[in-house]
Structure formats: structure tokens, C-alpha cells
Amino acid sequence: MLLEEKEFEHLLIRVEKSGSSWLVLIDDEEFSSKTLKIPIEDMQNYFKDNLRLYNYFESMINLVSLMCLQRNYKGINYLFEMYPIDFAIDCFLNMKISYKMRSNFAKMLISVHIDKDPLEKINVPILTRVWQEII
């Protein structure tokens, strides 16, 4: 029995752009029915008492990069829209984010956005000749 893609969508943490910053959207069903919107730069400080959610997000970004390794197009096509290239680049270059998180964003950037197109054969003209071929 194949599982539907939508069954696991609630496990992924969503992001959205707000001005020049990216917000992490967390559904807070334990305490209220609100959605928390936390700037990605402040996530570690926001969860300093309980790093469980921060570690979950860090592991999720790493898992996203691992799911898209070796050009897994089904995963790439789904996650390409959920985590846009601007998000990955902005987070990778943001000095306020920890090095471990930034390395996970770099892996995600490579596997989801860069290494996704099929390789094309390039015909390079041979501009040198061997004397034996000329005669």
C-alpha cells in the first residue's frame, strides 16, 4: 500500500518570507491553535530552554538534503517549492545562524537546487592534431 504524500506534510516545518527575513512557521497545537512565526535568526535563542524543536528543524533540513541526494526527482520537485532557493541562500549566508545549521542549508542548497538537472554531454572540438593524422 502506497502512502499519500499529504499524510506526511505536517511533519515538515514550513517557511515564509517576511520583508528581508525568513520566518519559520510552527503549528502550536499543544498550547493553542495559533501558528508561531519565528525569524530563523532567532530560533536558537527562542528555544534556548528547550532545544528539542530547534534540533528537530536542524535535523529536518539535513533530512531534506539526504532525501534529494542522487537526483531523487520526486523529493526534489516537492521540496523545491517548500524550501525555495532564496531561502537556502539567505540562510546559508546569514552569519547569525549557527555553523551546523548553515552547513545543513549548504547541503540542502546543493542537493535540492543545484544538483538536479540531468547532465548534458558537451561536444568539445579537438583543436590539436597529431602529425601522423595529417599525413
Residues 104-126: tens digit of each pLDDT: 999 999 988 888 776 677 788 88
* SS3 (DSSP) at 9: helix
56-87: buried (b, 16+ CB within 10 Å) or exposed (e) per residue?
Answer: ebbebbbebbebbeeebeebbebbeeebbeeb
What pLDDT, on the 0 to 100 scale, is given for residue 6? 62
Instruction: Provide the residue ranges of all domains of the chain, joining segments of one domain with +.
Output: 5-127+130-134
> pLDDT band at 2, cuts 50/70/90?
very low
From CA 135, how far away is CA 131, in angstroms rounded? 7
The pTM score is: 0.74
Q: Which three cell numbers stand for residue 115?
A: 544538483
